[in-house]
Amino acid sequence: MQDKEKEPVSRDTRPRRGVWSIIFGRGAVALLLLLAQFGFLFVLFGRLQQYSIYLTGAVDVLSVAFLIYLLNTRSNPSIKLTWCIIIALVPVFGVLLYLFITFDWGHRTEQRILHSVKAECAHLMPEPQELMDRLKNQEPGFWPLARYLAEANGYPAYENTDAVYFPKGEDKYAAMLEELEAAEKFIFLEYFIVEEGEMWDSLLDILKRKVQQGVDVRVLYDGTCSLLRLPASYPKKLRALGIKCKVFAPIRPFISTSYNNRDHRKILVIDGKVGFTGGVNLADEYINRREMFGHWKDAAVMLRGDAVRSMTLMFLRLWNATERQRDYEPYLIEPGPCNGMRQGCVIPYGDSPMDQELTGEMVYLDILNTARDYVYIMTPYLILDNEMVTALCFAARRGIDVRLILPGIPDKKYANLLAKSHYKVLTEAGVRIYEYTPGFIHSKVFVSDDIKAVVGTINLDYRSLYLHFECAAYFYKCPVIADILRDFHETFPQCREITKEDAANQKLSTRLAGAILKVAAPLM
């Protein structure tokens, strides 16, 4: 390939948010319920003024009852606190909004379908009992997490898998082009963002040729793309080319809680032999062909070998949720031989908002709580719940070198303010915070003690940890961990470290904005 690094980049001129995302998103629900609150108050203090004392008392009783109920739910304490404040301030609005979200109108059917799909293909996951027994005896520090991911979530550990780490989106892009050209049987793409431009257009050229060669090509992308990135008719365009295409949870003119649960995963599987995941979407800013927030740094990983089986099944589970005839076995072929080291274990895993398992957060907490030397983290967002703040601070206070690399140029002002609201407590505990001065960090990477690492799509925010479909790859004692660690050491010098004094001396406006936003953070 030609060296693209020297080519000029275009500057982003797209609007940041479309009106349809507001009309048919959570904002519409909140607005309607807020209007209901005002309507209630108008009736209360207008036409029913003589009964206002009774109605006010009824509202107070309702509020207290809901507060007691909330305090006894299994929800995260931060989420409980947010709901308590909303219901205390605007009881009618708060109760109705809570009921709307709790009743899950709009995707209970989807939840049942996804559960049935998961159950019907559970037998297709390997049960590596010999490996698990060996891990229990030889790797007692890793075995409990491997057991959790396998038994609670259905994601087993694999050996016989090579991995290649890409510290930049450009590196993943080059590898994707090469691997797609070699596809012989099928290509599965599942991405949060797809947008026409140099990156997607070049991939599409290959996909069109592969279809003509008889390759089964499938594309699944999240419905938010239709708001700003792609026309609503884009699936028809791809189908006309012979490419099977679906949109996950397309935005339509009705109110539904399903809009909360986006498909944030990034998966590319080729012939069941090669799999990609990480933070890189299929749009030009991810490979720095379009400048949006300075230099865009992202990370991804490519697997080759047995572990790709889990990535194939992850894709097929979501794809088959809308299929009457569900095929799995034809795509779960035996992978080819690996051309390199086969040390360690790899666990590709997913996280779903449709179950009770907070898999993404549990894996991160396990890394923090079992670390012996260091934990280094790259994340674009730092919107933390109580458990994650506690784990980060506890790790630092027991002598672990905990470092966070965050964007120097944020893509969302509110997210940056929320991140800064955590700086003081984290730095006081000994957590070291770095801001990437060349631009925006979009990588979602953990590495610890030279033996553990995670590369995937899971941000340190409520949406990734509680609301989105996510995926990642966990590495234990694999050679690729050295490459991941090297990326951190090469990135630290490009960052500005935030000292305790910096965190303590933030502008009053920054502190106030962060404090106010933190109240609503679980609902953002």
> Does residue 481 register a pLDDT over 70?
yes
In a domain, 413, yes or no: yes
With the C-alpha atoms ordered 156, 157, 160, 162, is the resulting torsion angle positive or negative?
Answer: positive
Q: Which residues pair with 376 in a beta bridge?
A: 403, 447
Mean pLDDT to the nearest integer, 43-48: 57
As a whole number of angstroms, the distance between CA 280 and CA 299 comes to 7
Quick count: other Cβ atoms within 10 Å of Cβ 323? 11
**Domain total in the chain:** 3
In a domain, 220, yes or no: yes
In a domain, 90, yes or no: yes
Residue 432 has a pLDDT of: 98
In terms of domains, do 428 and 282 share one?
Answer: no
In a domain, 7, yes or no: no
> Which of the listed residues 342, 373, 392 is the one where a domain comes to its end?
342
The model's pLDDT over 426-477, given as tens digits with 9 standing for 90+, comes to 999 999 999 999 999 999 999 999 999 999 999 999 999 998 999 999 999 9
In terms of domains, do 270 and 406 share one?
Answer: no
> Does residue 400 register a pLDDT over 50?
yes
Q: What is the largest CA-CA distance in the chain?
A: 82
CATH number of the domain within which 316 lies: 3.30.870.10
In terms of domains, do 335 and 383 share one?
Answer: no
In terms of domains, do 244 and 265 share one?
Answer: yes
| 277 confidence band (pLDDT: 50, 70, 90) | very high
Higher pLDDT, 307 or 16: 307
Residue 397 has a pLDDT of: 98
Mean pLDDT to the nearest integer, 109-121: 79
In a domain, 9, yes or no: no
In a domain, 243, yes or no: yes
As a 3-state breakdown, the chain gives helix, strand, coil percent values, each rounded to 5, of 50, 20, 35
The range of the structural domain enclosing residue 37 comes to 19-102
**Three-class secondary structure of residue 337 per DSSP:** coil
In a domain, 154, yes or no: no
As a whole number of angstroms, the distance between CA 136 and CA 130 comes to 10
Report whether 192 contacts 221 (CB < 8 A).
Answer: yes
Mean pLDDT to the nearest integer, 363-378: 98
In terms of domains, do 234 and 375 share one?
Answer: no
In a domain, 172, yes or no: yes
In terms of domains, do 217 and 253 share one?
Answer: yes
